[in-house]
Structure 1
């Protein structure tokens, strides 16, 4: 059984929020400290565009109605127009679908698709302790471009380094 993806619809937003909230509770991949609501993510969803900053949902090929992960092309840094050639990629998977090839599939598709969005560089930040995500991004040609020690305090004694990774997608090397 393999994975595929499609453009997210408003009907997918509750599943996207559930996946994201699972990541918040795990304190392994986001700096949000409290679960978010569907209402709080509507503006984010509405700001996505097919031709610029799309949101994709992943699903098992034989079940396109069940969202098992999502990938979004986010504005880079502060979203100023000069950064439009760079996208921050956010990738979140349902806990039951991690380590099964979906992340590899979605990230590979994103790297291939990015130039069609006018993107020349793809980057993201990953907690230093998140070995699975670091390995996934490295396997797709991402390089470590910087490390910020102990900049994320998630409460309960959980302090994280943030690793900045990126890669060119216009055919040139990192």
Structure 2
């Protein structure tokens, strides 16, 4: 499988939303409890900019296998060089190393984007994602115990981070 990366466009938002919605039932990757609509993701999508806060598609030929985004952290000017990373992979492509490919690609783009710090918000029980980030030099910078009411149980959130300068 040869994965390529390209910037997401408005036309890709329905697929981005569908891949995001696939993660909701597993209660591992998002705090949304019900599927979200394309319309509800529009304002979020509009915040992305290829020059500073990109969202990239991971493509297997013409098929979107997942996406990775860098979005502003905390929305204050002093955090301009820090972004939150999110990775979502289509269920048909999970467990094929795409998370690592996404991180490798993002790392190669940070200098051009003038980003020196990445943070990831990961549920404490999401061991595959925590393992991926830790394997790539991320450290636990925070632990928020039982902050997410997932309907059947409370879940904790870890803040993972890595500086690149």
Q: TM-score, normalised by structure 1?
A: 0.90
Secondary structure at the residue paired with 2:106? helix
Q: How many residues align?
A: 165
Runs of 4+ with >2 A deviation: none
Question: How far did 1:120 drift?
Answer: 0.9
Q: Which residue of 2 aligns with 1:134?
A: 130
Paired with 2:162 and 2:108, the residues of 1 have a C-alpha distance of: 12
Q: Which residue of 2 aligns with 1:45?
A: 45
Partner of 2:160: 165
Conserved in 2, the CA contact under 8 Å of 1:73 and 1:87? Answer: yes
Write out per-residue CA displacement over residues 61-114 of structure 1, whole angstroms, 9 at most, x where no aligned residue.
xx1x2111101101112x111111100001111112111011100111112212
Answer yes or no: is 1:72 the counterpart of 2:69. yes
Is the aligned partner of 1:150 residue 2:141?
no
Show the counterpart of 1:99: 95
CA distance in 2, matches of 1:148, 1:43: 27
Equivalent residue, structure 2, for 1:31 = 31
Unaligned runs of 5+ in 2: none
Asked if the contact 1:57/1:71 (under 8 Å) is kept, the reply is yes
Given the two structures, how large is their TM-score scaled by the length of structure 2? 0.95
Residue of structure 1 in register with 2:112 after alignment: 116
Counterpart Cα distance in 2 of 1:32 and 1:81: 28
Aligned partners of 1:53, 1:158: CA distance in 2, in Å? 33
